[in-house]
Amino acid sequence: MTNKINLFDYDRKMLESYFSSIGENTFRAHQLLKWIYQYGVIDFESMTNLSNDLRTHLKENTIVKLPKIVNEKKSEDGTKKWLVKVDEKNSIETVFIPENDRGTLCISTQVGCALDCKFCSTAKQGFSRNLTTSEIIGQVWLTNKTLGYFENKKRIITNIVFMGMGEPLLNYNNVLKSINLMVDDYSFGLSKRRITVSTSGIVPGIDRLKKDNKVSLAISLHASNDGLRDSIVPINRSYPILDLLSACKRYTEGKEDDPITIEYVMLRNVNDSLEDAHSLVKCLHGIPSKVNLIPFNKFPETYFSSSNYETINAFRDVLIKSGIFAITRKTRGDDIDAACGQLIGKFLAKSKKHRKNTVELI
Ligand code: SAH
């Protein structure tokens, strides 16, 4: 074990304070960020615009430590999935989805998940631990390197979605620091609109995110009444639909042209009737939103199945006729188990009592 600080755990503000504390000008922090996140250089000796003394100080007192990619799978449709080892016992998964006009990286924020959504394979593993900032931003750094960004300076990852394993808003501080690094002009410099945090509905986290660094938001709604949502997304018992939708309204206040994405997994005979569609329309009244209908992706030991395409289309038509923008999300990478809800990584799950503790963190 080392108690040296890992520079990948620090966002710009933290690095600036650190450099001040050792008597260096804060612009050194900006130079360091550029080396790491724009040139992909993590060897202090190659950071030629830093003085010899500073390089020696950094070598003695800090580290630049990343998780390790231990496996890569490629789907027939071009989607790539990496298994990323974060410690001796735990690995998580990261997915890259190339499209004509963009490349989306789907990243994980926790090893496992505590929320127990009934249709999600990550939930089946239970919860192990939160990822550190270095493990979250590390997924972005490592995959950029693997895809050749640092060499060619051509962006391949243009969008980032927090839709991998875990609930991002229950690992708030580390997620926020990693978002700060994604959007910082000295670092990856992505636009806030191109970063999407997906949440099962952690209301206090939504309010904090609006204040701290307002990126795009997606809500895993999946049901339009509390009875059903309580049973398939149990966190609804802590933050019921009305509270969640009020938080969505607050999030969009003043920026109504920036809609929230509503995710709705289509589960056969569970939440896919025309009545459900009409009830969803009522829920979304007055909230700037667009709906993504997600065909359910199968995994072993699930008792759910996906609605068929006629049902999904009929459901979508109700939304569209009511003036709601709605699309059916394309399933990508399901031949390598990289589609929504199929990520499992590898880890030793902790007990259910751990779940309760995590849910109460905020
Ligand atoms: N914890 C975050 C990120 C999770 S994954 C959240 O809940 O939003 C991203 C999306 O995939 C969520 O909307 C999630 O509910 C959905 N999902 C989970 N399992 C799925 C499955 N088997 N098929 C389709 N979508 C699924």
The domain covering 68-360 belongs, at the CATH homologous superfamily level, to Aldolase class I (3.20.20.70)
pLDDT in tens, 272-299: 999 999 999 999 999 999 999 999 998 8
Q: How confident is the model at residue 352 (pLDDT cuts 50, 70, 90)?
A: very low
CA of 229 to the centre of ligand 1 (A): 14
pLDDT in tens, 22-74: 999 999 999 999 999 999 999 999 999 999 999 999 999 999 999 999 999 99
pLDDT for the residue numbered 138: 98
The answer to whether residues 205 and 226 touch, using CB atoms and an 8 Å cutoff, is no
Q: How confident is the model at residue 342 (pLDDT cuts 50, 70, 90)?
A: confident
Q: Give the residue among 264, 260, 314 at the shortest CA–CA distance from 286.
A: 260
Q: Give the residue among 135, 52, 62 at the shortest CA–CA distance from 93.
A: 135
CA of 18 to the centre of ligand 1 (A): 38
Atom of ligand 1 minimally distant from the CA of 220: 13
Q: Which CATH code is given to the segment(s) 5-63? A: 1.10.150.530
DSSP string spanning 289-306? Answer: EEEEEEEPPP-TT----B
pLDDT in tens, 77-110: 999 999 999 999 999 999 999 999 999 999 999 9
User: Is the Cβ atom of 264 under 6 angstroms away from ligand 1?
Assistant: no
Residue type, 162: F
User: Is the Cβ atom of 206 under 6 angstroms away from ligand 1?
Assistant: no
* Contacts with 301 (C-beta within 8 Å, 6 or more apart), sequence order: 124
User: Is the Cβ atom of 220 under 6 angstroms away from ligand 1?
Assistant: yes
pLDDT for the residue numbered 343: 85
Kindly report, as residue ranges, where domains of CATH 3.20.20.70 are found in the chain: 68-360
| Closest C-alpha to ligand 1, atom 13 | 220
Structure tokens belonging to residue 126? 């239970």
Catalytic residues, which ones? Answer: 93, 340
Helical spans, DSSP H, in the chain: 12-21, 27-33, 52-61, 121-124, 133-146, 149-152, 172-183, 203-212, 226-232, 241-252, 274-283, 309-321, 352-359
Rounded Cα–Cα distance for residues 304 and 308 (Å)? 13
Kindly report, as residue ranges, where domains of CATH 1.10.150.530 are found in the chain: 5-63
Q: Give the residue among 70, 82, 67, 160 at the shortest CA–CA distance from 338.
A: 82
Q: Give the residue among 268, 326, 269 at the shortest CA–CA distance from 297.
A: 268
CA of 167 to the centre of ligand 1 (A): 10
CA of 144 to the centre of ligand 1 (A): 24
User: Is the Cβ atom of 93 under 6 angstroms away from ligand 1?
Assistant: no
For ligand 1, mutation pick of 160, 175, 263, 342 (most atoms within 8 Å of CB)? 263
